[in-house]
Structure formats: structure tokens, C-alpha cells
Amino acid sequence: TADGERCAQGRGEPWQRVRDMSVRHHANAYDPVLHQRGAYNEPARATTRERGRIATEVRMLQVLPHLLLKPGDLPEFVLVPGDPKRAEKIAESLNGATQLAANREYHTYRGTFRGIDVAVTSAGVGAAGAAIAYEEAIRAGARTLLRVGTAGSLCDEIVAGDLVVLIGAARGEGVSSQLIPPAMPAIADPDVTAALWAACQADGGRAHRGIGLTVDAFYRGVLDLGFETCAAAGALCVEMECSALFV
């Protein structure tokens, strides 16, 4: 092709680097390391048409493959429920909410709440899929992620309708063991949990604060999931996503 001839002549090499990278990686993948190394730089002598083609290619490479967002699309604060319908419901409470993307279980909205930019992204069920949402949300600009959803009570004091603020989670799921050493705990940010607890106290409703248990299995099989043991050790509730966020 003409592009190939220009590269063979020693011109347009950065353009070829962008083209080659789109072959080596998924077309929607964005690699910040390659970005820092200048892999997305456009040729200094590129024509207007070439610059347009390069810009389109770079935009494709920057789109995160699951959330379908680009760096900078999300504000600092992001709520992360599981159900896309729940994300839509939360978005109804935002001013000027718009849907940014929808792909698989990942549906994202952005708006404002009391003058603060806020987004909500659904993450599906389970730690592995949620970890994808957490990682890509951070790459898209999020800095404070609040996992919101339901949990099963492990103690008599917590009943349906109560709020639970988790300050940490026992790592009963599998994804975190592939991210950090087994001895490392899953601990939530203390400033965020303190703010959540203060809001619960100000609201005056029934609220609890402590450690949860994160597991992969929703239904019991023939093996013991350890609910009774973890409850005896102080776990308040069981859910399926928090420890992947806290690590």
C-alpha cells in the first residue's frame, strides 16, 4: 500500500508503529506504557489526511474494551452497583444524567448530584467481572469507587433494610489471589468509610460497620463455604464483589 511504501522509504515510521500496534493488541485496547513511550505520536510530516486517519486510530486504541470509555470520561466519584437496571435507577437521581456507554453488564451514566460530578457504572455479579469495571473505571478517570448493592446477613443483628458499611473484607473469592499475595488484607479506604459512616449516622437509620466476606459461589454445593466460621470470627455479611475493590 502507499502507507507501506512510505514506511519502507523511512518516512511515516510512527504511523506504521500505530498500525502495527493495532495488530498486536485488540483494536480497543489502550496501553498507557506504550503511550508514554510515544507509540501514539503522529508523524511530523504527516498530511492532513494522514493526521485524520492517525487520530481515528488513536481514539480506537484509547477506548477501554469493556466499559467502552476513554481516559477522562469519568469524574472522580463513581458508584458501582451490579445490576444495569440499578445503575439506570441511580442515574435518575442525578441532574443532567446522560448514558456514556453500554456493553455487556457494564452500563455507565454521568451527571451531577448537589453540584458534584458523579458517575455510575454497573459491574455485574462476581468479583472477576467487577474487577474489570474497577480497573477500567480508574483508567477512565475515577479515583473514588463506591460499591453499592445487597448482601446476605451473617448475624442476627442485621436485618433486611439495614445499611452495612464495610471497612474490609475476607478474601473468599479467587481474583484477588491473582493480584496480591495471600497474606495481604482487603481493606477499604479509611477516609471513604468514615465519610459513609458519618452519613449513615446523620441519616438516623439502622446501620452497621465492620468486616464482610466476599465469595464467588452464590449457591451452595457439597462444600462448606465457611459462612458460620467467618460469622464467628466477626464477619457481618456475605457478598461477591467488595474484596476485589479493596485490594
Q: Measured between alpha carbons, how far is residue 4 from residues 17, 38, 48, 182 in Å?
A: 11, 20, 18, 49
Of all residues in the chain, the percent with pLDDT exceeding 70 is 78
The partner residues of 237 in beta bridges, in order of sequence, read 153, 212
- On whether the CB atoms of residues 170 and 225 are closer than 8 A, the answer is no
Q: What is the number of helices (H) and of strands (E) in the chain?
A: 9, 10
Q: What is the pLDDT of residue 41?
A: 54
If we measure between CA atoms, which residue out of 105, 116, 114 comes closest to residue 78? 116
More confident residue, 12 or 243: 243
Choose the weakest-confidence range: 6-20, 56-70, 90-104, 137-151.
Answer: 6-20
Question: How confident is residue 3, by pLDDT bands cut at 50, 70 and 90?
Answer: very low
Strands 116-121 and 106-113: antiparallel
pTM of structure: 0.76
Cell numbers describing residue 25: 493488541
- Cα–Cα distance measured from residue 235 to residue 227, given in angstroms and rounded to the nearest whole number: 9
- On whether the CB atoms of residues 235 and 154 are closer than 8 A, the answer is yes
- On whether the CB atoms of residues 130 and 244 are closer than 8 A, the answer is yes
- Cα–Cα distance measured from residue 213 to residue 155, given in angstroms and rounded to the nearest whole number: 12
pLDDT digits 0-9 by tens, 32-74:
545 554 554 544 556 777 777 766 665 566 899 999 999 999 9
Q: In what order do the strands lie in the sheet with 152-153?
A: 152-153, 237-239, 207-215, 163-172, 186-187
pLDDT digits 0-9 by tens, 156-203:
999 999 999 999 999 999 999 999 999 999 999 999 999 999 999 999
- On whether the CB atoms of residues 158 and 205 are closer than 8 A, the answer is no
Cell numbers describing residue 163: 445499611
- Cα–Cα distance measured from residue 184 to residue 170, given in angstroms and rounded to the nearest whole number: 10
For the chain, what is the mean pLDDT?
A: 86
The partner residues of 113 in beta bridges, in order of sequence, read 116
pLDDT digits 0-9 by tens, 7-29:
334 434 433 333 333 333 334 44
